[in-house]
Amino acid sequence: MTSEKGEHALVLNHLGTIKSTFERGEKYTTSTFTACGEQWCIHCYFKGESERNNSGSLYVHHIGKEKDFFVSYGISDDCGTKKTVVHYLGEKAGKNIGWTTVKGFENPPNDTYKARITIEVIRRVETFEDEHTAPTLGEDLAALLSLPEKSADVEFVVEGRSFPGHRAILSARSPYFAAMLQNGMRESK
C-alpha cells in the first residue's frame, strides 16, 4: 500500500453574505483543488441539509476518476471544529466523503470562515514482474485476509460491507490508525 498526504486551506470570506443566498438543503460548492493526485471540492450546507439536520455542515467531495482506495480527511478550524473521517471509495468515484458539523458557520471571526483540511489517500499497489515471482510480504499479508475469522482483530463496516483488518498493520502504516487503535478511543474496542 502507498499513502499520500495533502492539505487544503478553506477560506470563505464574507460568509454572512454568502450564507444569506442559501436556504436549508442548498449546497455551496467551493472551487476544485488537488490533493494526493486527486481532484476534490468542499460542499457546504450553511443552514443544514434537511429539517432533521439543521446544523451547518460540510463534506469533502471526491471528483476524481480513480476508485478503490481509502481516504481519510481531517478538519480543524478556529471555532473548535475537529473531526477525522475515514471512507472507502469503492465502486464509484465522485463521492462525498463523510460529513462534519461546523460550529464556525454561525458567527466566524471577522465574517471569515477558515479551516484546514488534511487528506490522506491510501492505495493498494500491485507489483508483479512475472507470474513466477515469489510471494511478496504484501501478498503474504493479504493471504491473512483469506481467513479473516482466524486472523483479523479489527473490522470496518463501510456501506454495509465488512472489511477485516489487523491493528498492528494499520497502526504501523498510518499515524491516524495508530492513535485511534492504541489510545483507548471508542473505535479501538
Burial call 51-81: b when 16+ CB within 10 Å, e when fewer: eeeeebbbbbbbebeeeebbbbbbbebebeb
Domain limits for position 166? 137-184
Report the number of distinct structural domains present in the chain: 2
Q: Are 119 and 48 members of one domain?
A: yes
CATH no. for residue 158?
3.30.710.10
pLDDT value at residue 160: 76
pLDDT value at residue 55: 77
Q: Are 91 and 153 members of one domain?
A: no
Domain membership flag for residue 33 = yes
Domain membership flag for residue 8 = yes
pLDDT value at residue 82: 80
> What is the per-residue pLDDT across 20-74, written as a single tens digit (0 to 9) for each?
898 888 889 999 988 888 888 888 888 877 766 667 888 888 887 766 777 778 8
Residue with cell 487528506: 119
> Does the global pTM surpass 0.85?
no
Q: Are 7 and 83 members of one domain?
A: yes
pLDDT value at residue 36: 84
- Opening angle at CA 25, ends 43 and 107, nearest 5: 70
Q: Are 99 and 168 members of one domain?
A: no
**Residue of 40, 34, 32, 50 whose CA lies nearest to 96:** 40
Higher pLDDT, 6 or 123: 6
Domain membership flag for residue 189 = no
* Per-residue pLDDT at 170 exceeds 70: yes
Of these ranges, 11-15, 127-131, 132-136, the one predicted with the greatest mean pLDDT is 11-15
> What is the per-residue pLDDT across 141-159, written as a single tens digit (0 to 9) for each?
667 666 655 677 777 778 7
Domain membership flag for residue 129 = no
Mean pLDDT of the chain: 76
Domain membership flag for residue 145 = yes
What percent of the chain lies above the pLDDT cut of 90? 3
